[in-house]
Amino acid sequence: MSELETKSPGNFIRQIIDGDLKAGKHDGRVHTRFPPEPNGYLHIGHAKSICLNFGVARDYQSGKCNLRFDDTNPHKENIEYVDAIIDDVKWLGFDWQDRLFYASDYFQQLHDYALELIKAGKAYVCDLTAEEVRDYRGTLTEPGKASPYSNRTVEENLDLFRRMKAGEYEDGTRVLRARIDMASPNMNMRDPTLYRIRHGVIHHQTGEAWCIYPMYDFTHPISDALEGITHSLCTLEFEDHRPLYDWVLNNISIASHPQQIEFSRLNLQYTVVSKRKLTQLVDEGHVSGWGDPRMPTLAGLRRRGYTSSSIREFCDRIGVTKAENSVEMGILEACIREDLDRNAPRAMAVLDPLKVVIENFPEGETQQLEAPNHPKDEGMGKRTIAFTRELYIDRADFREQASRKYKRLVTDGEVRLRNAYVIKCNQVINGPDGEIVELRCSYDAETLGANPQGRKVRGVIHWVSAPEGIPAEIRLYDRLFGHPTPDGDKGVRSFLEHLNPDSFKVAGNAVVEPGLAQAEPGANYQFEREGYFCLDQQDSKATRLVFNRTVTLRDSWQKIDRQKG
Partner RNA sequence: UGGGAUGUAGCUCAACUGGCAGAGCGACGGACUCUGACUCCGUAGGUUGUAGGUUCGACCCCUACCAUCCCAGCCA
- By CB under 7 A, which span of 49-57, 287-295, 517-525, 554-562 interacts with RNA? 554-562
Q: Over the range 333-343, which residues count as b (16 or more CB within 10 Å of their CB) and which as e? A: bbbbbebbeee
Nearest residue (CB) to RNA, 80 versus 363 = 80
326 within 8 A of 485, measured Cβ to Cβ: yes
- By CB under 7 A, which span of 93-101, 208-216, 277-285, 287-295 interacts with RNA? 208-216
**Class of residue 111 by CB neighbours under 10 A (exposed 0-12, middle 13-18, buried 19+):** middle
Residue 271 CB, nearest approach to RNA (Å):
13
Q: Over the range 24-40, which residues count as b (16 or more CB within 10 Å of their CB) and which as e? A: eebeebbbbbbbbbbbb
Residue 341 interacts with RNA (CB under 7 A): yes or no: yes
425 within 8 A of 398, measured Cβ to Cβ: yes
Residues 367-386 that bind RNA (CB under 7 A): 374-376
Residues 54-73 that bind RNA (CB under 7 A): 70, 72-73
Residues 393-422 that bind RNA (CB under 7 A): 405-408, 416, 418-420
From the CB of residue 492, how many other CB atoms can be counted at a distance below 10 Å?
A: 13
Nearest residue (CB) to RNA, 103 versus 519 = 103
Residue of 162, 163, 317, 544 interacting with RNA (CB under 7 A): 317
From the CB of residue 248, how many other CB atoms can be counted at a distance below 10 Å?
A: 23
The alpha carbons of the chain give a radius of gyration, in whole angstroms, of 31
- By CB under 7 A, which span of 9-17, 91-99, 280-288, 436-444 interacts with RNA? 9-17
Residue of 26, 337, 475, 483 interacting with RNA (CB under 7 A): 337
Residue of 1, 454, 559, 565 interacting with RNA (CB under 7 A): 559
Nearest residue (CB) to RNA, 167 versus 185 = 185
Rounded Cα distance, 191 and 182, in Å: 6
Nearest residue (CB) to RNA, 322 versus 479 = 322
Rounded Cα distance, 161 and 210, in Å: 13
State in Å, rounded, how far the first CA of the chain is from the last one. 44
Nearest residue (CB) to RNA, 450 versus 538 = 450
331 within 8 A of 314, measured Cβ to Cβ: yes
Nearest residue (CB) to RNA, 537 versus 552 = 552
Residues 210-249 that bind RNA (CB under 7 A): 213, 215-217, 219-220, 236-241
Residue 528 interacts with RNA (CB under 7 A): yes or no: yes
Residues 463-522 that bind RNA (CB under 7 A): none
User: Which residues share a beta bridge with 439?
Assistant: 356, 428
Residue 197 interacts with RNA (CB under 7 A): yes or no: yes
**Count of positions on this chain that bind RNA (CB under 7 A):** 95
Rounded Cα distance, 453 and 121, in Å: 96
Nearest residue (CB) to RNA, 183 versus 521 = 183
Residue 293 CB, nearest approach to RNA (Å):
21
Q: Which helix or strand (DSSP H or E) is residue 499 part of?
A: none
Residue 328 interacts with RNA (CB under 7 A): yes or no: yes
Q: Over the range 418-433, which residues count as b (16 or more CB within 10 Å of their CB) and which as e? A: bbbbbbbbeeeeeeee
> Is 404 one of the catalytic residues?
no
Residue 324 interacts with RNA (CB under 7 A): yes or no: yes
Residue 542 interacts with RNA (CB under 7 A): yes or no: no
Closest CA to 82 of 36, 32, 49: 36
Residue 228 CB, nearest approach to RNA (Å):
20
Nearest residue (CB) to RNA, 270 versus 292 = 270
Nearest residue (CB) to RNA, 218 versus 477 = 218
Residue 319 interacts with RNA (CB under 7 A): yes or no: yes
Q: Which of 152, 275, 294, 424 is catalytic?
A: 275
Q: Report in angstroms the alpha-carbon separations of 186 from 69, 289, 293.
A: 27, 39, 41
> Is 337 one of the catalytic residues?
no
Residue 188 interacts with RNA (CB under 7 A): yes or no: yes
- By CB under 7 A, which span of 202-210, 291-299, 467-475, 526-534 interacts with RNA? 526-534
Give the 3-state secondary structure of 105-145. Answer: HHHHHHHHHHHHHHHCCCEEEECCCHHHHHHHHCCCCCCCC
Residue 288 CB, nearest approach to RNA (Å):
26
Residues 98-137 that bind RNA (CB under 7 A): 128-130, 133-134, 137
> Is 435 one of the catalytic residues?
no
HSE at residue 477, side-chain half, CA atoms within 13 A, is 25
Residue 243 CB, nearest approach to RNA (Å):
9
Rounded Cα distance, 213 and 165, in Å: 9
| DSSP code of residue 519 | P
Residue 321 interacts with RNA (CB under 7 A): yes or no: yes
Helix pair 44-59, 12-22: axis angle to 10 deg:
30
Residue 553 interacts with RNA (CB under 7 A): yes or no: yes
Closest CA to 192 of 201, 205, 204, 179: 179
User: From residue 264 to residue 303, what is the string marking binding to RNA with x (rule CB under 7 A)?
Assistant: x---------------------------------------
Q: Which of 99, 265, 355, 407 is catalytic?
A: 265
Q: Which helix or strand (DSSP H or E) is residue 515 part of?
A: none
Residue 453 CB, nearest approach to RNA (Å):
14
Residue 331 CB, nearest approach to RNA (Å):
4
306 within 8 A of 477, measured Cβ to Cβ: no
Nearest residue (CB) to RNA, 119 versus 405 = 405
30 within 8 A of 56, measured Cβ to Cβ: yes
Nearest residue (CB) to RNA, 449 versus 521 = 449
Residue 460 interacts with RNA (CB under 7 A): yes or no: yes
Q: Which of 3, 37, 390, 468 is catalytic?
A: 37
- By CB under 7 A, which span of 184-192, 203-211, 425-433, 543-551 interacts with RNA? 184-192
Q: Which residues are catalytic?
A: 37, 265, 275
